[in-house]
Structure 1
Amino acid sequence: MQRSARMKKEIQMLQQSPPHGISCWCKDDKIDHLEAQIFGGSGTPFEGGIYKLEIQIPDRYPFEPPKVRFITPIYHPNIDSGGRICLDTLKMPPKGAWKPCLNVSTVLTTIQLLMAEPNPEDPLMTDISNEFKYNKAQYIQHAKEWNEKYAMEQKVTKPFATTEPENEKKSKVMETAGGVKRTQPMADVTNKKLKDS
């Protein structure tokens, strides 16, 4: 099956050379169900936060885009309270921009950019979008509060560890941080370029 061969290559690439501030792994050894973490970008309201996402790979992948959803609540115009993301890359043409040449790594990097640079003209959360456009200082304050409340509850000491035990630990750690009940809208997450240590 084309999907299986393609996903094996993609998962290997994500383990060997993950994008800055992003990690991704299979959940329960299933190639069609992935988990990912995006680290809040430096200089954004999400700095210092760790955002967990789940990724479902459809049967027709790569001819259909993956389904990606935030598990960690985030205050963002383009991410709703259920974690759904409004992003062209995640939609089929003509309304979307998905192409079979794109991959999970590209999608996660694009989501990381969306976190840092929201698109208020195509919002899922109208109230947050209006706040972003007309009262940006208040938006930043709210986003920082959500970041501190939901994305900084647990610290992951080895975010890019490639051994299986570390990946399992990562998953368990993020279950605690992301397993909160949402009573307010959820927003999008930003990627953080980690400093070399």
Structure 2
Amino acid sequence: MSLQKQIGNRLKKELTALQKSPPYGIQVNLPTDDLYAWEAEIQGPEQSHYKGGIFKVRINIPEKYPMEPPSVHFVTPIYHLNVSQSTGQVCLAFLAADKWVATGTIEQLLNALYSLLIRPEEENAFDHEVLNKYHHYDWEYKQLAQQSASKAK
């Protein structure tokens, strides 16, 4: 069996499992027939600044998956310590090429995103301005995060 066919089979299995039994607060779908381009909708966790928001995330899976990590971007604007304010790219340590393990799954990635909405990772801040607000002006960070959630309906 070719490598591409093996990867395709793995992706189909992962997608089917996620659609049958989605992680709490998360829905996954394919917006097109492209098995390498997924979308997820993540509900803002009750115990977070993002409560009430619904955030769309794009997951691009490389052709060498699972040997290479997916890239993840928030399509819905979100004010978050670990998300680029200009591109929506997510900064998670285990998604770095040198930290990714081939046993990683999209489900693990989605659960990590959900957890990130509850507990941002300071060591993986995307930009210093947002990190500064998070550290020194937490009331403003919280307000901006809640505003992004209220716009994400």
Please give the range of the TM-score, normalised by the shorter of the 2 chains.
over 0.9
* Residue ranges of structure 1 left out of the alignment (5+ in a row): 153-197
Deviation at 1:43, TM superposition (A): 2.2
Q: What secondary structure, in the 3-state scheme, does the structure 2 residue paired with 1:55 have?
A: strand
Structure 1 residue 122 displacement after superposition = 2.4
Alignment partner, residue 187 of structure 1: none
Over aligned residue pairs, what C-alpha RMSD do you find? 1.1
Alpha-carbon shift at residue 56 of structure 1 (Å):
1.1
2:61–2:71: 8 Å Cα contact kept in structure 1?
Answer: yes
Instruction: Give 3-state SS (helix, strand or coil) of 1:31's partner.
Output: coil
Specify the alignment match of 1:37 in structure 2.
41
1:63/1:100 contact within 8 Å kept: yes
Q: Which one is further off, 121-130 or 8-17?
A: 121-130
Q: Say which SS state the counterpart of residue 106 (structure 1) adopts.
A: helix
* Amino acid across the alignment from 2:90: I
The answer to whether the 8 A contact 2:93-2:124 is kept is: no
SS across alignment from 1:77 = coil
Q: Structure 2 CA distance, aligned partners of 1:139 and 1:27?
A: 32
Distance 2:123 2:101 in 1: 23
The TM-score with structure 2 as length reference comes to 0.92
**Match of residue 148 from structure 1:** 150
Displacement of 1:30 after TM fit?
A: 1.8
Alignment map for 1:3-22 (pairs within 5 Å): 3-22=7-26
After superposition, the C-alpha distances for 1:35-85 in whole angstroms (9 at most, x for unaligned) are 111100102110010000111111100100111111000001110121101
Contact 1:40 1:47 in 2 (8 A): yes
Distance in 2 between residues matched to 1:90 and 1:135, nearest whole Å: 28
TM-aligned CA deviation for residue 29 of structure 1? 2.2
Equivalent pairs counted in the alignment come to: 148
SS of the residue 2:30 aligns to: strand
Q: Deviations over 1:12-35 (max 9, x none)?
A: 101111100011111212211111
Contact in 2 for aligned 1:120/1:133 (Cα 8 Å) = no
1:72 corresponds to which letter in structure 2?
Answer: T
The equivalent of 2:103 in structure 1 is: 101
Tell me, in whole angstroms, the C-alpha distance in 1 between the residues paired with 2:70 and 2:6. 15
Q: Is residue 50 from structure 1 mapped to residue 54 from structure 2 by the alignment?
A: yes
Aligned residue in 2 for 1:129: 131
- Distance in 2 between the 1:55 and 1:107 partners? 10
Counterpart of 1:25 in structure 2 is: 29
Match for residue 71 of structure 1? 75
Percent identical among aligned pairs is: 36
Runs of 4+ in 1 over 4 A off after TM superposition: none
CA distance in 1, matches of 2:145, 2:39: 23
In structure 2, what is the equivalent of residue 88 of structure 1? 93
